[in-house]
Amino acid sequence: LAKTTQPISMDSYEGQEVNITCSHNNIATNDYITWYQQFPSQGPRFIIQGYKTKVTNEVASLFIPADRKSSTLSLPRVSLSDTAVYYCLVGDYGNNRLAFGKGNQVVVIP
């Protein structure tokens, strides 16, 4: 399983763009990069998935450099409700053994 490294926590002000980084130096050729969000007392929720370059959906963007050894989740104009733990996962969706890690606690400040 590819290991991921994320900052433990970060703060951001409401209305700012938040960039959350993840390192995955031993990513394999078939691995995808997936991000989940988890609020207290809830199950994680899928945010976005990508393989290379840039992926954008209605809630976030995912930037993946050419070497794929890291990725950045970008949340535009965060609100207080974006306070959550964000998990970066790396793996082949065919192997059903993705590892969540400890995640990155993001706190949005008024």
Partner 1 sequence: NAGVTQTPKFRVLKTGQSMTLLCAQDMNHEYMYWYRQDPGMGLRLIHYSVGEGTTAKGEVPDGYNVSRLKKQNFLLGLESAAPSQTSVYFCASRPTGESDEQFFGPGTRLTVL
Which residues make up the interface to partner 1 (CB under 8 A)?
Answer: 32, 34, 41-46, 49, 87, 89, 91, 93, 96-103
Q: Coil, helix or strand for 82?
A: helix
Measured from the CB atom, is 58 or 97 closer to partner 1?
A: 97
Structure tokens at 85: 């733990």
Query: Shortest gap between Cβ of 20 and partner 1 (angstroms)?
Result: 15
- Considering the complex, what minimum distance in angstroms separates the CB of residue 51 from partner 1? 10
B/e letters for 57-71, b = 16+ CB within 10 Å, e = fewer, are: eeebbbbbeeebebb
| Torsion sign across C-alpha atoms 2, 101, 99, 46 | negative
What CA–CA distance (Å, rounded) separates 67 from 13?
A: 31
| Complex with partner 1: residue 78 or 103, whichever CB lies closer | 103
- Whichever of 6 and 70 has its CB closer to partner 1, that residue is 6
CB nearer partner 1, residue 41 or residue 81: 41
Q: How far is the CB of 93 from partner 1 (least distance, A)?
A: 4
CB of 110 to partner 1, least distance (A): 25
Vertex 86, ends 81 and 90: CA angle to 5°? 150
